[in-house]
Structure 1
Amino acid sequence: MQYAAHAAAMSGQGAGVPGAPPGPSGTIPELIGREAELAELRSLFGIGNTPAVTDRDHVFVLVRGGFGSGKSALLRALLDEARADDRAVLDSWADPGDSRTDHAVLRQLLESAPPAPSVRPSGEPPEDGAYHRSLDTVVARLAAGARRPLICVDDLQWADAASLRLLRRLMRRADGSPPAVIASLGPGESPDEDALGAVLPLFRDHVSLAPFAPHATGALLARTLGHDADQAFLNTCQQATDGNHLLLRSVLGALAATPPQPGPDTAGGERTVSVALGALLPELAPAVRSLLRGTGAHSEAVAGAVAVLGSPRPVELIAEVASVPQPATEDAVHTLVRAGLLHQYEQGVGIAASLLSDAVEQFVPPSRRQELHAGAARFLLGRVAAPEQVAHHLLHCAPGQPFAPEVLRRAAAEASDAGAHDRAALYLRRALREPQTEEERAAVLCLLGEAELESSVPTAIDELRRSLQLSMGPSEQTSAARRLAGALFAVDRYLDALDVLERTSAAIRPVDPAYALRLEIDFLFISLVELASAARAYPRLMDLAMTDASGTAVERPLAALLSLRGAMVGEDAEEVVRLARIALAHGLAPADDESVVYHCAMLALGAAGRPDLAHDYAEAAIDEARARGAVFQYAHAVAMRGNANARLGRTLECEADAEAALEALLEVGVPLGSSHTVFAVATLIESLTRQGRVEEAQSLLERSGMDGQLHPYWINDYPLLARGWLRVEQGRLEEGLADFLACGARTVARNMPAPGFYPWRSEAALVHVRLGHAEEAVRLAEEEVALARRWGVPEMTAVALRALGIVTGGPEGLQKLDEAVRALETSFARFRYAQALADRGALAMRCSRIPEARADLQEAVSVAHACNAGVVAQGALRELRALGDRPRTRTFQGVDALTPTERRVADLAAGGMTNREIAQHLFVGLRTVEIHLTHVYGKLGIKGRQGLAETLR
């Protein structure tokens, strides 16, 4: 009963119906949530209007419960009702401080008896017989009434041996009319196990008090709050209390006294609980500590170790760190588990209620907490535990453990591999507190900068710069310089990145030419970003050959750069593909050499007419990025796949990928107008324009800050091309032409004559002819045809021939379009094929070749339909109507209108999968699934999932 006072102080002592809501004062009833147990006790003793469930002469009930289970409050509530029912009651409340004082409990029983002539024995010390006669006299007097008296002993485990012996005699009265007895048994060591053991078997009825289940906790919260608690609020309370009566009652009282905290509903509610729990700890901790000291010699040390180390821990670990012999630790754990203070889990022992754990930890000094964590780290290291398990404890102990730096570095690598870059950075920052050589510190700083790139690029730059300053050998200097340059590149500080790479390369070239070449590769790639630096880098770029890296680890990055060079200047396309394959042998983001230079190989594959390979490499990179939790790697890979889908004519897939890339980048705080988002934005604009969704494309252009003058970075050349397509579709021909010509001027300045990346000449030619500039249109188209034939990629040749055919016109132009269609018929470029068919059909009609025109236009609609290329489809439909045909006004309707991906998503949805499950199944974003289903519903003419399965049949 010593803990009832603590509970009353913390949550307010209130009278009334147990479990009732707080009164006007906000106090919480002493007994909550035990209505069923109280009703059972009423029935056993026949209290109030409840008839007794037994006619036995011996009604002996034992209430069992762990720490804070509410057994004392339950007994008090029962006795209050018994007295109100005119039942004679004798009660006592055993205390560990009096457990070795003879007759302490019996004295309380006699003192609680109703007024009568004194029957207490005189003389000190009294004999057992004297107390027995006194108690017999009281019981006999009370039994003379209409109802049998009720004796109550709370915390029987602390009753003194003399009282236990007398209680046993009373319960075994020979006259067959003993009083009714109720006692409670809780945690704690008995002063005389034999005496207690002799009494316990006499209790025939047992009531056990279990912790409240979550639904019961929810009901109690609802009573206190006056409304149902939301799930997050309920979960927080349940986790804090584990359904413990005392803890929950204390929390309810604290909540009633805590003003609601500001914030959104859920966040504000959680803050309110947090404030209430914090206010409880100073009052709860002394009660818990007192209880622990009453449960055994080692209980406080063992419980403190469990609370500090957190989560379930094996007993042998607790014994080691608490400096308690293992047998004694096992005994203490056994006692504490029985008391409800610890829980036994498969992995070890732990404290289920976080509030209780926090209360225990309150009385463990900070220095002792550090010692416990250090001991746990040593123990786990000796058991060859995973580095992260050891590192968790190193985070909380003082520096100086000789094994700490290596373990923390290995733990950071584990965390990074799992995608937990914030956790990796935490381990590495802790590693920097350990004594290390400058070389070791440089390595840690380099790793820290790399980890922080995922969350805070400016912070990463500072760490990486320090790492470079401390790096000693060529390998470490190269690694630090490349990572620092990459971070500077990420925030558009290109000149700073070039300076770092150039200076470091020059410094280590005399010592290690291979590492110097690796830095030079990054230097040359970043140099292409700006026109001035590109011009300076061009001669060295053209001098490089694969033999420069023969037999070194630099072969793959050099192959990536050279594949880009080949696509830029129009070298042999097959050689470009071969180099790209070498570059991507270990993927887009190889673990041994992560660098944006490998993106060159992806772009080169698309320009060389192998977007299928680029798509496959991007898919593999996406899966790897998901597994590693690498946001930037994922965003860049999915954007690359989107661009490959654009070249493949998969318009909706292109849209979904571009949006997924943008969503991922925006999620980590990358603004829409940054260099990281430009590629994805341009890809999305291209997709939307092809579909005829020009208003959406224009809105995106404006929101991304790409509607005005674009900085002359290489990354902005593609947006110029995409914006030009949009302008033409909007009817703003002069502006579209200006964008195409600006794109061309930039690529020429970068010595990129080949049309593989940007076929700006053919696009400009098509606008020129519409503006009446026939001569310039033909000149540009012929120039691109010549460059494309030299490049040798059928798709690019066909694109140029299509433009030349249109601007030439007549039978000669039709021949050019025939050649373009033949080249595209078996290519991957389905959108370009649809364009060429539609243009050949339109020109054939003007040349009075009606049957050929009709066939081409109908096929163009079909191919455009499959590509979701609305612009091409609508243009071909207009030409068909001009021929007198009456095609449907809406061609994108019905099951046959679904693309393969849409059909796959629709089938999964019809099969009962949720959008999230479909996303996980297809390894795409949730938004991608939503986009596909939106298109599915539109094409099928339904409003949602209802009727989807039937429509698909």
Structure 2
Amino acid sequence: MVNRHQERDSLAGLLAGVREGQGRAIVVTGDAGVGKTALLDDMAARATAFQVLRVSGVQSEMELPFAGLHQLCAPLLDGLERLPAPQCQALRTAFGLAEGPPPARFLVGMAVLSLLSEASRANPLLCVADDLHWLDKASAQALGFAARRLGADPIGMVFGTRTPTEEIVGLYELRLVGLTNRHARELLAAALTGPLDERVRDQIVSETRGNPLALLELPRTLSREELAGGFGFPGAAQLSGRIEEGFTLQLKELPADTLLLLQLAAADPSGDSSLVWRAAERLGVTHEAAQPAADAGLAEFGHRINFRHPLLRLAAYRSAPARERHSVHLALAGSTDPDVDPDRWAWHRAQASTGPDEEVAADLERSAGRAQARGGPNAAAAFLEQAVVLTVDPARRIDRLLAAAQANLQAGSFDHALELVGIAEAEPLSELQSAKAGLLRGHVAFASGLGAEGALLLHQAGKRVEPLDLGLARETYLNAWMAGMFAGGLAEGGSMTDVSRTALKLPVSAEPDEAELVLEAISRVVVDGPAAAAGVLRRAVDAVLDSSLTPDEVVRWGWFGHAAAIARWDFANWRFLLSRELNVLRDVGAFDLMPIVMATLGTVVTWSGDFDASAALFAEADAVCEATGAPAAAFGPAMLSCLRGDEEEGLRRVQAMIAEVEVTGQGVSITYANWIAAVLYNGLGRFEEAMAAARASAESSAELFVAQWPLPELVESAVRCGETGVAEAALNRLAEWTTAGATDVGLGLEARSRALLSEGEAADGLYREAVERLGRTELRPELGRARLLHGEWLRREDRRADARRELRIAHELFTEIGMKAFAERARRELLAAGDRVRRETAENVVELTAQEALIVRLACEGRTNPEIGAQLFLSARTVEWHLRKVFGKLGITSRRELPAAIARRS
């Protein structure tokens, strides 16, 4: 290697850090031929104390899901059974070792991290993935996931790629560039066997821009005349093309049988030498054909057939004319066992086809199904798109186009999904196909964050599906309703009201299932109001609470069950549904859905006054988002800040939520943000601002269930501002919902609000009712506020002793919960009532990071290190490392001491 001292030192630093127990990852990038592979080979050779695992991507026209990952992890598969059961099952399914539900891609990534961590206990581990841009997407995603989560494990991961791909964005990048002119001349001189005209040397150095592979390969393609004087030397061209052209010229010098053998090896991305030799035998090629290629240094023939460079493989494949290429793939297909490797067999048959072939297209469709079952939607999409090319029947072709679009949607390739839908829509479609195309457009719009547009498109798709498939129509309307909820006041033509009116026109089944019950309930409450919907809301919640629901059904109907519970102010069942759904998502590894469920559950937990528990949920949600690249949900932490009374942080988060609406199109954020701002302002005693925020929230979209939450804030602030009419209107609207729901939460808040507008014994009785009802619920902040308002009323009634009792209880409760603004408001009232209250002061406490606090919480619950790691996307060894740091901060030495140490800290 010439002049790569700095780059070698960087990689040596990675090895040194890994030896010390620090997991590290580097991405080596650079143009084709710049020396990435040589640098990785050099690093692997110097990793003498390491167990080295390697994989190289191979360009092919079809992805085989997890093929690269299987190749890398093959030496470690004996350790699969030591992984947590869900992770073990995920990898076994991904590798085709077992059957099961499609594994979530992040669960596969977590399983890879755990597998590598276990393997590194014996020796430091170095994983080298070269030509990542040509690795199958499922493998690249899993490896990128693991690389971002390396912690206190002696694992190094190094990727070679031309440019950073989305799977490894954010990892440290080591960019390789061409050699300087002086070093380029040095390398060129080493490659020459004779003298070189100085002008030709300078031209080669200039045009190769110091690319090492070009400097080594291009002189082999030049004639003696060109080397001597430069006559006829080709002009500047794309460097990779020039290098490939040089390889092509070398291939032309080989005997025909040798070239055919290399074409066979290049046509199969596995590098499986036994498969290639079986195919070669079919074409009459003997083992002697390998020798000229080996002598020329073009390829190595062992257990695997390795080309000197990926561009040489590409050149060998392209050197075969179309007819010969078909023959090559046909021989490979004939040499592949369709029972053992049906997907590779189908792929080679497809490449061997010279025209439409329904039998091959059907095989590809079955391969797509297997790819989906293994958790490879990208591969499924690729199989289906190839099947489209070979499909004879126009109707089947459209079905497969739409199926390919659906697979791309699942893979997150939204633009390509829409492109395939557009191709399908250019053909004559049946009514059902047209409806499915519209449905796909709606799902893409909703999944990609275009809330208002997604709601409208899904509403329209439901109408088109309705005459053809009533069950699909109901599911479509449910999704349209949810999209309309997120869009809030920004929805046009797909609002909750629009969708609900359409859904209520559907025929009613004699024995409605969960979908039909929930759809009717949430639609009825929007169109006819809570009183008319009360009965069906109860039935819908009961149906979703059914313990016999499968995990798939829990996830499928969860959000809609939440909506029905919220409409009834049924917080106990809402919390249960959220907790059950989160447990299911954890079990199946559906990490893409977990952050929103965690943030929503965190809202309920925050509202219950357990701020430590909600902070832990938000920290876990952040860990999931960091691991998966998903955007973090802002509403949970914003609510926590506002209930804590952190004015600066709370208002900053509120303003950020409102500003984001222009980007996300999710109008519900405006409703939510103004509601929690009203809570903050009421705590601070800034009632005019509280009234403005509560009004903005309640009026932003009256059909939203969340728009009922600011009504108690509006009543309180309006009364304090002397706006009795505003308060009465808000109370009437609130009572319509709470009376229909008939829960202690709703009726307690109604009683508290009604007391604010009442006098004398009526007010006293309503405050007592509010305290009694809210005391039976989990919403301790609302109970504290009922006692605070009662105490304030009692003081104004000059019942000072009674006032001091209520205010003291409220102050103690707010202080215990951590609601600083309301605690201060209660303290001021106590002083006015003639009591002495010491202002709370911050004490010196040991500070734990959010992640440390979450790990401690899980450890105190009795979770093992592997269990904690699986939940937080960390290896067990990294969890152990964090706990050792916590032990040092708390001055303890074991887990047994944790609960007491945390109690003392609190």
Once the two structures are superposed, the pairs formed by residues 568-583 of structure 1 within 5 Å of their partners are: 569-571=530-532, 575-580=536-541, 582=543
Structure 1's 295 and 433: CA in aligned 2 closer, same or farther, altered over 3 A? closer
CA distance in 1: counterparts of 2:617 and 2:649, whole angstroms: 16
Could you give the per-residue CA deviations for residues 126-175 of structure 1, whole angstroms, max 9, x where no partner exists? Answer: xxxxxxxxxxxxxxxxxxxxxxxxxxxxxxxxxxxxxxxxxxxxxxxxxx
Give the aligned partner of residue 781 of structure 1. 731
SS at 1:382 equivalent? coil
Q: Find 1:464's aligned residue among 412, 421, 430.
A: 421
Question: Matches of 1:493 and 1:336 in 2, distance apart?
Answer: 56
Q: Cα offset for 1:363?
A: 6.9
What SS class does the counterpart of residue 266 from structure 1 fall into? strand
8 Å CA contact 1:310, 1:350 repeated in 2: no
State the Cα distance separating 1:808 from its structure 2 match. Answer: 4.0
Tell me if structure 1 keeps the 8 A contact 2:432–2:468.
no
Equivalent residues in 2 for 1:11-410, closer than 5 Å: 237-239=39-41, 243=45, 266-268=174-176, 275-277=211-213, 280=216, 305-311=264-270, 313=272, 315=274, 317-323=275-281, 342=300, 371-373=327-329, 375-377=331-333, 379-380=335-336, 382-385=338-341, 387=343, 391=347, 402-410=358-366
Instruction: Give the whole-Å Cα distance in 2 for the aligned partners of 1:506 and 1:765.
Output: 41
Return closer, same or farther for 1:546/1:435 CA change in 2, 3 Å cut-off: closer
Out of 672, 693, 714, the position equivalent to 2:646 is 693
Distance 1:277 1:587 in 2: 63
1:820 to 739, 757, 770: 770
Pairs within 5 Å for 1:752-767: 758-767=708-717
Alpha-carbon distance change, 586 to 912 in structure 1, aligned in 2, over 3 angstroms: closer
Q: Measure how far apart 1:684 and its partner are.
A: 3.7
- Determine if contact 2:457/2:494 at 8 Å carries over to the other structure: no
Q: Is the 8 A contact 1:405 1:431 kept in 2?
A: yes
1:791 pairs, out of 741, 753, 769, with 741
- Deviation (angstroms), 1:904: 5.7
Matched, 1:606 2:566: yes
- Structure 2 residue matching 1:697: 3-state secondary structure: helix
TM value normalised by structure 2: 0.58
Tell me how far apart the structure 2 counterparts of residues 608 and 377 of structure 1 sit (CA, whole Å).
61
Q: 2:720 aligns with which of 747, 767, 770?
A: 770
> Structure 2: where are the runs of 5+ without partners?
1-10, 17-25, 31-35, 47-170, 181-209, 221-243
Letter in 1 for 2:671: D
Q: Per-residue CA shift, 1:422-480, capped at 9, x if unaligned?
A: 44444443333323423223223323333444545454334335546658566545443
With over 3 angstroms needed to count, the CA separation of the structure-2 counterparts of 1:771 and 1:896, relative to structure 1, is farther
Instruction: Check conservation: 1:546, 1:555, Cα contact below 8 A.
Output: no
Alignment of 1:370-519 (within 5 A): 371-373=327-329, 375-377=331-333, 379-380=335-336, 382-385=338-341, 387=343, 391=347, 402-413=358-369, 415=371, 420-453=376-409, 455-467=412-424, 476-489=433-446
Contact 1:721 1:743 in 2 (8 A): yes
How many residues align? The count is 688
1:833 counterpart (783, 788, 793): 783
d(CA) in 1 for partners of 2:707, 2:776: 21
Contact 1:880 1:886 survives alignment (8 Å): yes
Secondary structure in structure 2 of the residue aligned to 1:432 = helix
Q: Max radius of gyration: which structure?
A: 1
Give me the whole-angstrom Cα distance separating, in 1, the residues matched to 2:174 and 2:704. 58
Aligned to 1:168: none
Shift of 1:840: 3.9
- The equivalent residue for 1:737 is 691
Which residue of structure 1 aligns with residue 84 of structure 2? none
CA shift, 1:386, in A, is: 5.9
2: CA distance, partners of 1:774 / 1:910? 50
Q: Distance in 1 between matches of 2:547 and 2:441?
A: 23
Q: Distance in 2 between matches of 1:267 and 1:235?
A: 13
> Where in structure 2 are the equivalents of 1:503-902 lying within 5 Å?
530=491, 537=498, 540=501, 543=504, 547-548=508-509, 550=511, 555=516, 558=519, 561-562=522-523, 565=526, 569-571=530-532, 575-580=536-541, 582=543, 599-615=559-575, 617-618=577-578, 633-651=593-611, 654=614, 680-706=633-659, 716-728=670-682, 733-748=687-702, 758-774=708-724, 776-777=726-727, 780-781=730-731, 784-785=734-735, 787-808=737-758, 812-844=762-794, 856-857=806-807, 859-860=809-810, 863-864=813-814, 867-879=817-829, 889-890=839-840
Name the CA shift for 1:304/1:909 in 2 (closer, same or farther; >3 Å).
Answer: farther
Secondary structure at 2:390's aligned position in 1?
Answer: coil
Inter-partner Cα distance in structure 1 for 2:613 and 2:408: 32
Task: Spell out, residue by residue over 1:593-629, the C-alpha distance to the aligned partner (whole angstroms, 9 max, x if none).
Answer: 998x863332222343444544454456557767888
Aligned-residue sequence identity (percent) comes to 19
Q: RMSD across aligned C-alpha pairs, in angstroms?
A: 6.3
> Could you tell me how far 1:788 is from its partner in structure 2?
1.6
Matched residues in 2 for 1:755 and 1:286: separation?
Answer: 66
Contact 1:474 1:512 in 2 (8 A): no
Helix, strand or coil: the match of 1:601? helix
User: 1 CA distance for matches of 2:716 and 2:875?
Assistant: 37
Corresponding residue SS for 2:175: helix
Task: Decide whether the 8 Å contact of 1:425 with 1:451 is kept in 2.
Answer: yes
Change (3 A) 1:464 1:880: farther
Amino acid at match of 2:438: A
How far apart in 2 are the matches of 1:783 and 1:291? Answer: 83
List per-residue Cα deviations over 1:862-914 (Å, max 9, x = no partner).
Answer: 65466544433444455556677776755786999999998662266899999
Q: CA deviation at 1:767?
A: 0.9
Distance in 1 between residues matched to 2:418 and 2:179, nearest whole Å: 35
Q: Distance in 1 between matches of 2:525 and 2:214?
A: 61
Q: Does structure 1 retain, via aligned residues, the 8 Å contact 2:350–2:360? A: yes
**Superposed CA offset, 1:767-802 (max 9, x none):** 112213346435643663464233212112212222
Question: Kindly tell me: are residues 737 and 524 of structure 1, through their superposed partners in 2, closer, same or farther at Cα, counting changes over 3 Å?
Answer: same
Distance 1:803 1:451 in 2: 51
Q: Deviations over 1:245-286 (max 9, x none)?
A: xxxxxxxxxxxxxxxxxx9861346999x9534654567999
CA distance, structure 2, for counterparts of residue 370 and residue 586 of structure 1:
56
Q: 2-side partners of 1:588 and 1:720: how far apart?
A: 36
Q: So what's the TM-score if we normalise by structure 1?
A: 0.56
User: Does the Cα contact within 8 Å between 1:810 and 1:843 map onto a contact in 2?
Assistant: no
Cα distance in 2 between the residues matched to 1:697 and 1:636: 20
3-state SS of 1:641 partner? helix
| Residue aligned with 1:827, SS | coil
SS at match of 1:690: helix
Q: Give unmatched runs, 5+ long, in structure 1.
A: 1-213, 220-228, 245-262, 671-677
Rounded Cα–Cα distance in structure 2 between residues aligned with 1:618 and 1:291: 64
| Alpha-carbon shift at residue 579 of structure 1 (Å) | 1.0
* Cα distance in 2 between the residues matched to 1:816 and 1:594: 40
